[in-house]
């Protein structure tokens, strides 16, 4: 019996070892899906906080929190006030570039750039969920600013130098007034390329590290790093640069990795977050845009290293912090609250009250302005990030157009001249559903379907290659047509944003006679499985 017991114990141990080997710890990138470029991170105790760039969107610069670096929850926005968008500078199109988030002595700092007129500025908060302060303007205009709080109390402001030299410059800054205490001084012209941006300065074990994005923010994007015993340099280049990139193979599913920020976890592990894009195959562009990726980091001989497998594959087979996922967000929104959910954004700060949640309870009312999706200045649009390549977006709404200029419906929106729209309007004195495709200077209405009544349901079903548009007719879905994904991709549209799935109404030159009342939306995403590289 003893011999049999020993054999049984051995079999159980071997089975357990095999099971353990098969249960590889890990996670799937990206950890923030949909438009979330230029991520920046800080830690307060056991809590992590992250900000990403928001470009033209309002509210701007979303703030996320996590307990494990893998599961993130949006808790607010750092740009919510009229003052944050520098409306007094008389430019109607704010464009917020790369953000940096830092924490020092009980205060969070978010610094960014409005490249269309507001320049560099930062806002502060004691609670990262808000409220955030009025902007403190920094007296320099070029983009990608960062802050570093040194042990001796000095604060350093580091950014892209100018558009000609494309170098990195730095100065000490008065963190209360935004005034520079020293002249700006060049500290790097790049380590590999002649296109350097997105700098971050941090300190580790007596060394000052300067990490930068190089090679632009698309196919040649990479992250380099250098170190010095002084925050002013001279900086010694990492002999293994670039530390993060995927610019060596155009057929990989991940591209454009770079613009990274580094963080240490409470357990001593090190990590990098960076932007990147997903591609289903070798000739597919990115319509979703630049997302946030998480990469495990190992320090060797004073330099951070990232394994190639982590840079080439979406599945990261590496140990994580104890996972603490958040509750799943509902896919349906009935607009029953007094404020919009955090997932919703607009295309600029709303100067005029063109939307309401209380004029008709249980509905989102959009009042069509004279502006359209082609102008976007004050268009009545509310949308959310497309987070996966596959899924569907459905909405039910009521609308009674009075003329051919008035329309309301849904849109797959990349940019003012790159979007697909399915809407209700008037054509030849009849009420119809129209599918319109706008690609650059090509604008075409590809379908016109007669519809009756005032209540409608529209949906778009999409995969990695096409958007298919439907309208409900007598309880049946009728396809109005489709649009190719690549034609509204970020590469073709030449933008730094990503697709938003939204609802809108417009009078195309003058205000709409009637509002559009959206009853509910249902948005479901399905993750596309990728083969391992």
Kindly state the tokens that stand for 194.
């002649």
3-state helix, strand, coil in the chain (%, to 5): 10, 45, 45
Q: Answer for the pair 145, 120: CB distance below 8 angstroms, yes or no.
A: yes
Strand-pair category, 355-356 with 40-44 = unpaired
Burial of residue 149, with CB atoms counted within 10 A of its CB: 0-12 exposed, 13-18 middle, 19 or more buried: middle
Only one residue has tokens 């464009």, namely: 95
Catalytic residue among 68, 114, 167, 197: 197
- Where are the alpha helices (H) located in 294-431, listed in sequence order? 308-312
Residue 139 known to be catalytic: no
Bridge partner list, 119 = 114
What is residue 377's DSSP assignment? Answer: S
Active site residue 197: yes
- The phi and psi torsions of 492 (rounded to 5 degrees) equal -70, -40
C-alpha distances out from residue 215 to 178, 192, 199, 211, 221, Å? 30, 8, 13, 13, 5
List, as one string, the DSSP characters of 377-411.
Answer: SS-EEEEEE--SSEEEEEEEEE----STT-EEEEE
Residue 150 CB partners (closer than 8 Å, separation 6+): 156, 203, 231
Report d(CA 281, CA 493) in Å as an integer: 19
Which positions are catalytic? 38, 197
């Amino acid at each position: 019996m003893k011999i049999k017991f020993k054999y049984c114990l051995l079999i159980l141990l071997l089975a357990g070892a095999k099971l353990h080997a098969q249960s590889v710890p890990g996670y799937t990138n990206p950890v923030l899906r949909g438009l979330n470029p230029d991520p920046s991170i800080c830690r307060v105790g056991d809590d992590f906080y992250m900000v990403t760039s928001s470009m033209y969107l309002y509210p701007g610069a979303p703030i996320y929190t996590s307990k494990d670096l893998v599961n993130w929850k949006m808790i607010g926005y750092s740009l919510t006030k009229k003052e944050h968008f520098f409306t007094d500078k008389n430019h109607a199109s704010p464009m917020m570039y790369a953000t940096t988030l830092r924490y020092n002595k009980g205060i969070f700092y978010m610094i960014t750039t409005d490249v269309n007129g507001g320049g560099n500025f930062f806002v502060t908060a004691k609670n990262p969920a808000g409220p955030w302060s009025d902007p403190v303007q920094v007296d320099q205009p070029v983009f990608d600013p960062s802050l570093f709080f040194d042990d001796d109390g000095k604060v350093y402001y580091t950014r892209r130098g100018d558009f000609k030299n494309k170098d990195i410059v730095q100065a000490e800054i008065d963190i209360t007034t935004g005034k520079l205490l020293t002249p700006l001084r060049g500290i790097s012209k790049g380590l590999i390329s002649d296109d350097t941006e997105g700098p971050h300065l941090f300190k580790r074990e007596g060394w000052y590290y300067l990490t930068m994005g190089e090679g632009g923010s698309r196919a040649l994007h990479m992250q380099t790093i250098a170190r010095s015993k002084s925050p002013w340099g001279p900086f010694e280049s990492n002999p293994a640069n670039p530390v993060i990139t995927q610019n060596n193979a155009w057929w990989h599913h991940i591209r454009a990795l770079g613009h990274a920020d580094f963080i240490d976890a409470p357990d001593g592990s090190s990590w990098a977050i960076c932007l990147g894009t997903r591609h289903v195959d070798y000739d597919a562009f990115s319509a979703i845009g630049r997302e946030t990726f998480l990469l495990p980091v190992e320090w060797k001989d004073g330099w951070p290293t990232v394994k190639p497998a982590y840079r080439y594959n979406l599945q990261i087979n590496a140990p994580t912090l104890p996972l603490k996922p958040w509750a799943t967000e509902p896919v349906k929104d009935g607009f029953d609250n007094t404020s919009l959910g955090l997932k919703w954004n607009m295309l600029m700060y709303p100067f005029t009250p063109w939307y309401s949640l209380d004029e008709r309870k249980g509905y989102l009312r959009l009042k069509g302005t004279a502006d359209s999706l082609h102008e976007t200045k004050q268009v009545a649009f509310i949308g959310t990030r497309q987070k996966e390549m596959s899924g569907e977006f459905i909405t039910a709404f009521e609308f009674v157009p009075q003329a051919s200029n008035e329309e309301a419906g849904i849109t797959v929106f990349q940019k003012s001249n790159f979007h697909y729209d399915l809407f209700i309007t008037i054509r030849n004195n009849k009420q119809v559903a129209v599918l319109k495709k706008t690609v650059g200077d090509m604008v075409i209405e590809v379908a016109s379907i007669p519809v009756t009544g005032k209540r409608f349901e529209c949906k778009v079903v999409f995969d990695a290659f096409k958007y298919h548009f439907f309208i409900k007719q007598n309880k049946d879905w009728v396809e109005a047509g489709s649009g190719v994904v690549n034609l509204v991709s970020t590469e073709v549209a030449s933008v730094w944003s990503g697709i938003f799935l939204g609802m809108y109404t417009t009078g195309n030159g003058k205000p709409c006679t009637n509002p559009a009342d959206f009853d509910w939306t249902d948005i479901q995403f399905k993750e596309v499985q990728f083969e391992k590289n």
